[in-house]
């Protein structure tokens, strides 16, 4: 974790009893209010909300603590950590090698939950830690509660948050808007509610149809403080929710949906269509005539996909990744088209000045046409067979403010040469897929093209 990257932590507190506005890095803690500051140690516990670490140990100041073997989706008991700058490390259970390190400033006598989660980077996720204070002032009025919503899923971008006493119907418009969260910083939204269960739904900013988390239940009793921490799901765009009752229980809400978009690459100007069916309700995915990328739609867990090419059914693939982003690629000749699912990674590049790119080979007509993608004269992806995708790579923006893309292949070193390729204006710190489409059955390059989305 890069602790030099400072982010602002803004608090809007309806209770007006705890005015804390400060600066923290992701994984560093603000001390809460209401707890004693006189002791020489703090109490800290670990909540394991990672994606790929089934059991973790907490080390403090270079020594393993009794908070060992914290299983996925569970929380440990409290252990002591020195007040002040405390060196905290998480290891896979039984290992002496750290998977994450942080040195937050802990207040003496205060309580914290160290939330372990994973956040994306090119090539995979890394474990991060957020020390959540647990000494916020308890609501004094019986029958009231406080819910604090924190965003640690910065790669998901800017978000709108809704909290309502009833669940949002799938495909419905969320109600109970409580605020927006800027994806560039770690923020908190604080509101008061009555007792019972509230449902948290999160969408993309100003786009209620782009649901990132649907109906996370938050059950609260009188005079409780509940923290909802948003963390990235597997694909980086959807969200998991983590519920922490102050000095009490921990649970998490794993996102089981999958964001899916349809990529049409069938030759011959043939229309490609796809639908998802869940609980007896069938909804279309954006389709059309190649080359076309549809918009992402959330496919709920347990849904079935159906694909047609020119109105004729094509076998739909299985293998939706819960919490992930995926492209449903349909390619080939109209009478022999196939459909396959490709996992997407829409998390931004590690270097904010670059773009992240990968290639999908949707060119039909010759199964030997293995592609190489060149970005600004440098090979970015090689050996990409028809119907498959490359790994992601990074490219810079050239002096003209764009990225020049071209293709060579095992059959033609100038399949789409630089003179024929488009100079694409791409935004740095953003992820794109380059989609190569067209029919190469005759060896002609006239109908081949690239699109970027």
Look at residues 128, 156, 126, 73 and name the one whose alpha carbon lies nearest to residue 325. Answer: 156
CA distance 411 to 209: 44
Do 91 and 35 share a domain, yes or no? yes
For position 7, what pLDDT does the model report? 28
User: Do residues 316 and 401 share a domain?
Assistant: no
pLDDT band for position 30 (50/70/90)? very low
Q: Is residue 172 located within the same domain as residue 300?
A: no
Same domain, 134 and 25: yes
Together in a domain, 101 and 236: yes
d(CA 86, CA 61): 7
Residue 186: predicted pLDDT: 67
CA distance 11 to 132: 14
Task: Assess if residue 1 is contained within a domain.
Answer: no
Say what the pLDDT of residue 121 is. 54
Report if residue 379 sits inside a domain: yes
Q: Could you give the 3-state DSSP secondary structure of residue 317?
A: coil
Same domain, 123 and 14: yes
223 plus 367 within the same structural domain: no
Q: Are strands 188-194 and 11-12 parallel, antiparallel or unpaired?
A: parallel
- 443: pLDDT confidence band, cut at 50, 70 and 90? confident
Q: Which domain holds residue 389?
A: 345-453
Q: What is the CATH number of the domain that holds 420?
A: 2.60.40
Q: How confident is the model at residue 184, as a pLDDT? A: 67
Whether residue 289 is found in the same domain as residue 383: no
Same domain, 185 and 234: yes
Q: How many domains does the chain have?
A: 3
Q: Which burial class, exposed, middle or buried, applies to 87 when counting CB atoms under 10 A from its CB (0-12, 13-18, 19+)?
A: middle
pLDDT tens profile 272-281: 999 999 989 8
Q: Are residues 122 and 230 in the same domain?
A: yes
Q: Assess contact for 136 and 363: CB atoms under 8 A.
A: no
């Amino acid at each position: 974790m890069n602790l030099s990257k400072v982010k602002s932590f803004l608090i809007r507190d309806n209770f007006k009893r705890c005015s804390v506005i400060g600066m923290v890095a992701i994984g560093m803690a603000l001390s809460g209010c209401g707890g004693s500051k006189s002791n020489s140690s703090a109490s800290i516990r670990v909540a394991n909300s990672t994606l790929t670490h089934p059991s973790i140990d907490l080390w403090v100041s270079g020594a393993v603590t009794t908070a060992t073997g914290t299983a996925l989706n569970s929380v440990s008991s409290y252990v002591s950590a020195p007040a002040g700058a405390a060196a905290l490390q998480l290891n896979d259970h039984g290992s002496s090698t750290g998977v994450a390190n942080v040195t937050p400033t802990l207040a003496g006598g205060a309580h914290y939950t160290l939330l372990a989660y994973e956040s994306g980077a090119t090539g995979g996720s890394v474990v991060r830690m957020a020390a959540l204070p647990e000494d916020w002032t308890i609501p004094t009025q019986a029958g009231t509660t406080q819910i604090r919503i924190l965003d640690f899923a910065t790669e998901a971008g800017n978000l709108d948050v809704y909290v309502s006493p009833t669940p949002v119907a799938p495909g419905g418009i969320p109600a109970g808007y409580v605020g927006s969260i800027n994806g560039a910083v770690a923020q908190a939204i604080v509101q008061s509610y009555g007792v019972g269960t509230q449902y948290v739904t999160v969408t993309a900013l100003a786009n209620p149809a782009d649901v990132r988390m649907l109906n996370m239940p938050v059950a609260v009793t009188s005079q409780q403080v509940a923290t909802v921490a948003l963390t990235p799901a597997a694909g980086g765009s959807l969200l998991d929710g983590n519920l922490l009752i102050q000095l009490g229980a921990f649970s998490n809400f794993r996102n089981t949906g999958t964001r899916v978009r349809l990529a049409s690459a069938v030759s011959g100007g043939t229309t490609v269509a796809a639908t998802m069916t869940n609980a007896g309700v069938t909804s279309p995915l954006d389709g059309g005539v190649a080359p076309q990328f549809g918009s992402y739609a959330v496919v709920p867990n347990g849904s079935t996909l159906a694909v047609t090419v020119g109105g004729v059914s094509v076998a739909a693939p299985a293998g939706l990744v819960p919490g992930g982003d995926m492209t449903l690629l349909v390619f080939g000749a109209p009478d022999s088209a196939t459909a396959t699912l490709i996992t997407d990674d829409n998390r931004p590049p590690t270097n904010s000045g670059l773009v992240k790119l990968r290639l999908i080979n949707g060119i039909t007509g010759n199964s030997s046409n293995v592609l190489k993608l060149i970005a600004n004269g440098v090979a970015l992806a090689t050996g990409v067979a028809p119907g498959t995708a490359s790994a992601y790579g990074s490219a810079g923006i050239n002096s003209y403010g764009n990225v020049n893309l071209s293709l060579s292949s095992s059959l033609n070193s100038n399949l789409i040469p630089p003179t024929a390729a488009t100079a694409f204006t791409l935004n740095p710190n953003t992820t794109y897929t380059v989609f190569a489409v067209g029919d190469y059955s005759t060896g002609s390059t006239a109908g081949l093209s690239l699109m970027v989305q």
